[in-house]
Amino acid sequence: MKMFLSVLLIAVPLLLCAQRSGNPQKTYLTSKDFYYTGQYRMAMESFKSLTTYSNTFTEYATFYYGLSAYHDGQIEIAKNILLQLTRKYPNWGPRQEVYFWLGKLYFEIGDYRLAVDQLNKVNEPTMKPDVVSLKLHYLAGAGLEELQALHQKYLNDAEIGFCLAKSMGEQPLTNEDMSQLQNIIAQFNFSEENITNQFVGPTIIKERYKVAVCFPFLIQDMKKNRRTNSNQWVLDLYQGIQLAHRELLSQNIAIDLFAYDTERDSIKTVEILSMDEMKSMDLIIGPLYPAPSELAATFTFHEKINILNPLSSNTDIISHNPYSFLFHPGDKTQAKIAAQYMRGHIEKDKKTLIIYGSRSSDSIAAYQYRSVLMEDEIEVIMMEQVPTVDSEEIARFVSENLYEIFTPDENDPILLIEKAENGEEEEKEFIPRSDINHIYVASSNELIMANVIGTIDNMGPELSIMGNDKWLQSRFIDFRQMERLQVYMTAPSFLDYTSYNFKRFQKKYMNKYKYIPNNYSFIGYDLMLLFGGLLDQGGKYFQHELKNKDFYPGSLFQGYNYAESNDNSYIPIVRFESGVLTQVNK
């Protein structure tokens, strides 16, 4: 074996020397025989011999030398040889084939940008179909970020646009991404149906509609005495839905209601969603817990079924799914409406303070609030996160930050603000205390709320406070104090208990179920009336109807607006006036 290898190693150089001194055409034909019979290593050496001196076959030999290296698995060598060919012989006739193969090589090593650069040099009409097929094949395996970057560089490349649109269409999208997807589809005149589930098709009008309620009823664990049933709130929510359903039927709105017990369990939820009948539903209400809710959202996205979460304010549920709705507004939406209200009621030269809690939703709300104010150049001079949930630490943090602002030296009538950049103190700026108009507290933590209100009350500055109606549930609340301090709150669940509709509902509910309804009952009733009516008016895909109207009045709650997003953006702003909680943004 060793003797054979030695003979071979000696024989190859001798063969090449003979080829160089012999007939280049014969060497070229011999090299092609090696190539077409799959002897790529021999072909490489044979073609290489023709590239070392000038002859009729130098360019072709260089080209096939590169292809032989490619087929032998020597990708880097093949790439370098073909690049050398384009540089050394830029006017060679079949150079567009070189660009094609370079594009293929760059795709295979994962350099999509250089691959597209090479393929875009191919302008031979007969090669265009192969170029398109090659790009679609490899770009289909690129990640979304890679495709986004390529699209930014090659805005008019149809293959990149198609693969990006397909990649975007296969996953849930934000509103911003949805706008980009629509632009790409319009630019290249793609078929929406071939791209994505993101676009809700034409609505479907039916004589009867099916609504599934997927709640954790825990039927097996129910006890006869409702006083000891910890799951009663779920029943209250469902009974509100049932009462509204009967009312819809009385109005000749034909809706069939189906109840499914998710048992607060993901496996049970999967079993329910796997039932054939679920694919025929026109609306799914629930589930109520995060894991089952995520499973249902994925199901409805792929099956193109609208789904409504009756309790959550987490916009992650809706931001990626055009079929998903929240009955309540998200935290970001509440912050936006609150800031818009305050922006319209303060002078532009006034300044604002923001304190927010440790939850991610608190941070999102705080930055959204600041963003809206900054649109009108209203300055936020302090924006601080309470970095703890410990009661003593919260009290210390709030008092230290607010006392620093509102209790200057008696001889100093103005507030001292230190601005720092890159860790170095800059010249100090003096701001009158009277320039501070209000403080926004982005948190439902009752300890943060109580400490802010208490500290402001003790120090006595004249400014308003903006919060949310979850504060009303706090054991530390003092309604007289909130009225005195001009505390405003976003209140999506604000009810007028003196209204005719409320009194009528309460009477019907008590007659039917024999006990006083609560907030869950109110939610169930109002959401079923609203979305049941939307099915009747707008069909299976009622979002087309929903997006064309800025306001839908509620029966119990004040109203609904889904024109700009899939969470309710009609949000009452309330405050106490003469001891009565009153809406101030009607």
**Does residue 574 sit within a domain?**
no
Q: Please give the structure tokens belonging to residue 252.
A: 């000749």
Nearest to 255 by CA among 522, 539, 505, 508: 539
**Does residue 4 sit within a domain?**
no
Least confident of 31-35, 201-205, 224-228, 459-463: 224-228
Region 572-578 average pLDDT: 96
- Cα–Cα dist 18/535, whole Å: 86
Q: Which residue has the higher pLDDT, 311 or 169?
A: 311
Q: Which residue has the higher pLDDT, 524 or 313?
A: 524
Percent of the chain whose predicted confidence (pLDDT) is above 70: 86
Q: Please give the structure tokens belonging to residue 43.
A: 């072909």
348, 246: one domain:
no
pLDDT at 223: 55
Region 232-246 average pLDDT: 96
**Does residue 89 sit within a domain?**
yes
In this predicted model, what pLDDT tens digit does every residue of 522-545 receive, in sequence order? 999 999 999 999 999 999 999 988
Q: Which residue has the higher pLDDT, 169 or 442?
A: 442
> Coil, strand or helix: which one is 489?
strand
**Helix boundaries (H) for 498-542:** 500-513, 519-538
- Cα–Cα dist 79/449, whole Å: 65
Q: Is 196 exposed, middle or buried (0-12, 13-18, 19+ CB in 10 A)?
A: buried
- Cα–Cα dist 168/142, whole Å: 12
DSSP 8-state code for residue 221 = G
pLDDT at 329: 95
Least confident of 162-176, 384-398, 487-501: 162-176
Kind and range of the H or E element at 464? strand 464-468
Q: Which residue has the higher pLDDT, 404 or 535?
A: 535
pLDDT at 423: 52
Region 228-241 average pLDDT: 89
User: Which residues are bridge partners to 211 per DSSP?
Assistant: 257, 283
Region 82-101 average pLDDT: 91
Region 25-48 average pLDDT: 90
pLDDT at 335: 95
140, 32: one domain:
yes
User: Which residues are bridge partners to 574 per DSSP?
Assistant: 489, 583
Measured CA distances, 286 to 92, 310, 311, 341, 442 (Å): 67, 7, 9, 32, 27
266, 361: one domain:
no
Least confident of 50-64, 399-413, 500-514: 399-413
Which band of pLDDT confidence, cut at 50, 70 and 90, is reported for residue 228? low
Task: Indicate if the alpha-carbon torsion angle 578, 583, 584, 586 is positive or negative.
Answer: negative
CATH code: domain of residue 110? 1.25.40.10
Which band of pLDDT confidence, cut at 50, 70 and 90, is reported for residue 404? low
Measured CA distances, 411 to 407, 414, 427 (Å): 11, 9, 21
Contact 377, 351 (CB under 8 A): no
466, 497: one domain:
no
Mean pLDDT of all residues belonging to the chain: 86
How many CB atoms lie under 10 A from the CB of residue 128? 11
355, 244: one domain:
no
Which band of pLDDT confidence, cut at 50, 70 and 90, is reported for residue 8? very low
443, 457: one domain:
yes
pLDDT at 559: 96
**Does residue 545 sit within a domain?**
yes
**Does residue 407 sit within a domain?**
yes
For residue 494, is pLDDT > 80? Answer: yes
In this predicted model, what pLDDT tens digit does every residue of 255-312 receive, in sequence order? 999 999 999 899 999 999 999 999 999 999 999 999 999 899 989 988 999 999 999 9
Structural domain total, the chain: 3
Region 540-564 average pLDDT: 92
Measured CA distances, 123 to 119, 309, 482 (Å): 9, 53, 73
Which band of pLDDT confidence, cut at 50, 70 and 90, is reported for residue 200? confident
Region 145-171 average pLDDT: 88
Contact 322, 546 (CB under 8 A): no
Region 459-480 average pLDDT: 86
For residue 235, is pLDDT > 70? Answer: yes
**Does residue 6 sit within a domain?**
no
CATH code: domain of residue 403? 3.40.50.2300
> Coil, strand or helix: which one is 557?
strand
38, 173: one domain:
yes
- Which residue range is the domain that position 121 belongs to? 15-195
85, 188: one domain:
yes
Region 393-405 average pLDDT: 79
Which band of pLDDT confidence, cut at 50, 70 and 90, is reported for residue 431? low
pLDDT at 434: 72
pLDDT at 100: 94
Q: Which residue has the higher pLDDT, 306 or 229?
A: 306
**Does residue 584 sit within a domain?**
no
How many CB atoms lie under 10 A from the CB of residue 409? 7
For the sheet with 306-309, list strands across it. Answer: 255-261, 209-215, 283-285, 306-309, 324-326
Percent of the chain whose predicted confidence (pLDDT) is above 90: 52
122, 238: one domain:
no
547, 457: one domain:
no
Which band of pLDDT confidence, cut at 50, 70 and 90, is reported for residue 7? very low
For residue 456, is pLDDT > 70? Answer: yes
**Does residue 187 sit within a domain?**
yes
pLDDT at 407: 56
Final residue before a domain boundary, out of 163, 195, 227: 195
pLDDT at 225: 53
pLDDT at 52: 86
Q: Is 278 exposed, middle or buried (0-12, 13-18, 19+ CB in 10 A)?
A: buried
Cβ partners under 8 Å of residue 79, min gap 6:
66, 102, 105, 106, 109
- Cα–Cα dist 43/56, whole Å: 18
Which band of pLDDT confidence, cut at 50, 70 and 90, is reported for residue 491? very high
Q: Encode burial over 256-271: b for 16+ CB neighbours within 10 A, e otherwise.
A: ebebbbbbbbbebbee
Region 535-560 average pLDDT: 93
238, 124: one domain:
no
467, 525: one domain:
no
Final residue before a domain boundary, out of 146, 168, 195: 195
Measured CA distances, 231 to 22, 222, 226, 521, 555 (Å): 95, 8, 9, 13, 26
In this predicted model, what pLDDT tens digit does every residue of 9-24 receive, in sequence order? 333 343 444 444 468 8
Final residue before a domain boundary, out of 474, 490, 506: 490
pLDDT at 406: 65
pLDDT at 14: 36
Which band of pLDDT confidence, cut at 50, 70 and 90, is reported for residue 393? confident
pLDDT at 375: 86
**Residue 542 exposure: Cα atoms within 13 Å on the Cβ side:** 23
